[in-house]
Amino acid sequence: MQDESALVSAARRGDKEALQSLLKRNWGWLKGLVYGMLADSRDLDDVLQDVCLRVITQIHTVRDPERFRAWLAIVARREALKHLRRRPPASLRQNLESFPSEAYAEDPLEDVERRELCDRILDAVKTLPEKYREVFVLAHTGGLCYADMAKVLDVPITTMQIRLLRARRMIQNHIMGRRESQVQEK
Amino acid sequence: MSEIDTRLEILIGKRLDGEISPGEQEILERELAADGQARELFEQLRQLHQCSRDVIASEVAAGAGAEEIFERAWRENAGFSWRRVLRVDGRLRFAVGLAAGFLLGLALHFVLASGEKPPHETTSQPRIARKIPSEIDRPVGVAPTIDPQASRQVMREVDWYVFTDESGDPWLIEGLREGMVRPASFRGELH
């Protein structure tokens, strides 16, 4: 974290390398957060580019280098929201169709049941309310501990844990609901 | 869902996310060993966690890398670097705005002032007046140019002349008493 503060200070002075390092360090969760907001990966790169641009132009406004991650999360949320307002809403079907299923079908031994489960999970993630979706995606993008996730989301750690628990329950209920309805159909 | 289930779910979640402390790990192990339903829940959540990681990783992994996107943004920003040159703080911006407003007002004042013709300029005769030939036929009468009902204070009398041009068209010429002549109007109906 001390390194990150030093990088923030250098970036504020206009050091391009420092700025790039900062973004690279935080890229995983940043991408996850934006994905959590957009609920699909259609315009992920465009929004991330806007976030980078905002960081480049506004880094001098970061007063406390220790709070860089919280600041970056706010910037990312704002850009994602701006993008969501601009773009036409996509149906869930479109979102699911845009999902590259080949990405996890490379392993020939992977069974159909697991693929179906993954599809159902993705379906459930996309239908989660935003605050639950972002915490769930952050937790599964990797790279952040609970304390850092709470900082990024700007909520107490207990709130973050409860949200994650509820998100898991909602997804589980969604999957179980699907399974039950499939059994009934059979 | 009972409070015990919630606590168990939190412990399982912490275990899956790698956030569990040794003490909590011990408690969880005991619960799992003693309760079959707890083991089933653990298995469900473990499978959910694993699939979620894979699914989200494949979703998020799509697209360009951090370096490429950063470079694009850097280039885009360089294109607009002139904006940074013009970046001024609030007070300076206010002062600049005030000065610009003052200059604009001053310019507007001079433009409007130059638009008003002084009285002596109105005596300059229009082009048609210089071309009035000597064969103006005759004065046809004196008529007020302004309706006396409309304005009681201002009344000016004019003389009217009829003039026939080379092609035989009749023209009605308005000649002001003060020596001013307005552009003539063609009156086809005059014979």
Calculate the alpha carbon distances from B164 to B130, B133, B143, B180 in Å.
16, 10, 21, 20
Q: Find, in chain B, the residue whose alpha carbon is nearest to that of A171.
A: B48
| Alpha helices (runs of H) in A13-156, residue ranges in sequence order | 16-25, 27-38, 44-58, 68-86, 92-97, 112-127, 130-141, 146-153
Angle at which helix A130-141 crosses helix A112-127, to 10 degrees, equals 130
Please calculate the CA angle B21-B24-B28 and round it to the nearest 5 degrees: 135
| Tokens representing residue A92 in the block | 């869930």
Q: Please, what's the b/e burial string for A155-183 (b: 16 or more CB within 10 A of its CB; e: otherwise)?
A: bebeebbebbbbbbbbbbebbeebeeeee
Please indicate if any CB of chain A lies within 8 Å of the CB of B16: no
Please indicate if any CB of chain A lies within 8 Å of the CB of B13: yes
A 86-125 residues with CB < 8 A to B: 99-100, 103-104, 114, 117-118, 121-122, 125
**Interatomic CA distance for residues A18 and A35, integer angstroms:** 25
Q: Do A20 and B70 touch (CB under 8 A)?
A: yes
Four-CA torsion B4, B8, B13, B16, nearest 10 degrees: 180
Q: Please, what's the b/e burial string for B67-91 (b: 16 or more CB within 10 A of its CB; e: otherwise)?
A: eebbbbbeeebeeeeeeeeeeeeee
Cα–Cα nearest to A16, from B80, B84, B70: B70
**Interatomic CA distance for residues A7 and A20, integer angstroms:** 9
Name the residue among B49, B58, B73 with its Cβ closest to that of A103. B58
Q: What is the pTM of this model?
A: 0.59
One digit per residue, the tens of pLDDT, for chain A of length 186 reads: 658 888 998 988 888 899 999 999 999 899 889 988 888 788 888 999 999 999 999 898 888 888 888 899 999 999 998 888 876 655 444 444 444 444 444 555 556 777 888 888 888 998 899 899 989 998 988 678 899 899 888 899 999 999 999 999 999 888 887 655 555 544
Q: Find, in chain A, the residue whose alpha carbon is nearest to that of B55.
A: A118
Name B61's Cβ contacts closer than 8 Å, sequence gap at least 6. A103
Handedness of CA B107, B109, B111, B114 (dihedral sign): negative
DSSP letter string, B118-143: PGGGGGSPPHHHHT--TT--EEEEEE
- The ipTM assigned to this model is 0.72
Q: How many CA atoms lie within 13 A of B154 on its CB side?
A: 5
One digit per residue, the tens of pLDDT, for chain B of length 191 reads: 566 678 899 999 999 999 999 999 999 999 999 988 899 989 989 988 988 888 888 888 777 888 888 888 888 887 765 555 555 567 778 888 899 999 999 999 888 887 665 555 555 544 454 455 555 555 555 444 545 454 444 445 667 777 788 888 888 777 666 655 556 566 565 54
Cα–Cα nearest to A58, from B71, B69, B67, B84: B84
Name the residue among A27, A57, A175 with its Cβ closest to that of B66. A27
**Interatomic CA distance for residues B69 and B80, integer angstroms:** 17
Q: Do B64 and A141 touch (CB under 8 A)?
A: no
Please indicate if any CB of chain A lies within 8 Å of the CB of B40: no
Domain that holds residue A175: 2-185
Domain count, chain A: 1
Bridge partners (DSSP) of residue B142 are B159
CB–CB contacts below 8 A, A to B: 109
Test mutation, A112, A140, A163, chain B, max B CBs within 10 A: A140
Name A74's Cβ contacts closer than 8 Å, sequence gap at least 6. A154
Helix (H), strand (E), coil (C) string for B25-51: HHHHHHHHHHCHHHHHHHHHHHHHHHH
B 81-140 residues with CB < 8 A to A: 84
The count of other CB atoms within 10 Å of the CB of residue B59 is 26
Please indicate if any CB of chain B lies within 8 Å of the CB of A9: no
Please indicate if any CB of chain A lies within 8 Å of the CB of B45: yes
**Interatomic CA distance for residues A15 and B68, integer angstroms:** 18
Please indicate if any CB of chain A lies within 8 Å of the CB of B145: no
